[in-house]
Copies of this chain bind each other. A is one copy, B any other.
Amino acid sequence: MYPDSLKYLIESFKTLPGIGEKTAERLAFSTFSLEKEQLELFSSSLIDVHNKIHKCNNCNLLTDKDCCYICSDSTRTNILCVVEDSKNVFLFEKNGMFHGKYHVLDGLISPLDGVNPEDIGLPKLLDRIQKEKFDEIIFALKPSIEGETTALYIKRILEGLDVKITRLASGVPIGADMEYLDSLTLERALTDRKLIE
């Protein structure tokens, strides 16, 4: 029914998460109103992200260089932030409040999903910690069973090393309605309560 290229474009949009039939059709039709240059950039960047972008040799962050722009920045402080995904690094960087370095794990330990400690790229992290001698290691992992398990597992391996090990604070998100909080978050917020000064 649709001309071939339009059909393939609709199918392509449908492979993306959260995009169903109707949305894929709407998006595909909307490309008719784009400039030729915009379409060419769109088209080439799809191929380029596959061909040019890979993990940084040092920290696993997605980059188009051998060494990412953070690892090659000598002004960064000696604090290491361990995250689950490159996306988290870009989130922190957008925010601009952290000036240390990062290390991106290959996921979180989750035995139920078949992800064991040897699957998340720990040797690379441990090598790096021994070489770069950080003052502090912050675990910025999801506050879930998998995130806590992973942080605890790595902390145990690092025992004996002279390094401060911390995790992000858990608690009530700013602006949240108290009534929608789950009980675990509330419990953590209560346990970690702070003195008002």
Contact = CB atoms under 8 A, between A and B. Distances in A.
Contacts of A45: 5-6, 8-9, 12
Interface in A7-42: 8-9, 11-12, 15-19, 23, 25-32, 34, 36, 38-42
B87 A5 contact: no
Contact of A53 (B6, B38, B44, B86): B6
A1 interface: yes
A43 interface: yes
A174 to B, nearest CB: 18
Interface in A21-74: 23, 25-32, 34, 36, 38-50, 52-53, 62-65, 69
Count of chain copies: 2
The A interface is mostly helix, strand or loop, or mixed, namely helix
Given A27-B16, A38-B12, A41-B12, A6 B49 contact: yes
Interface of A: 1-6, 8-9, 11-12, 15-19, 23, 25-32, 34, 36, 38-50, 52-53, 62-65, 69, 86-87, 90, 93-94
A68 to B, nearest CB: 8
A16 B31 contact: yes
A115 to B, nearest CB: 16
A112 B4 CA distance: 37
A94 B1 contact: yes
B53 A3 contact: yes
B26 A17 contact: yes
Contact of A63 (B3, B36, B53): B3
A25 B26 CA distance: 19
A27 B13 CA distance: 10
A30 B17 contact: yes
A96 B32 CA distance: 25
Given A12-B38, A27-B16, A4 B43 contact: no
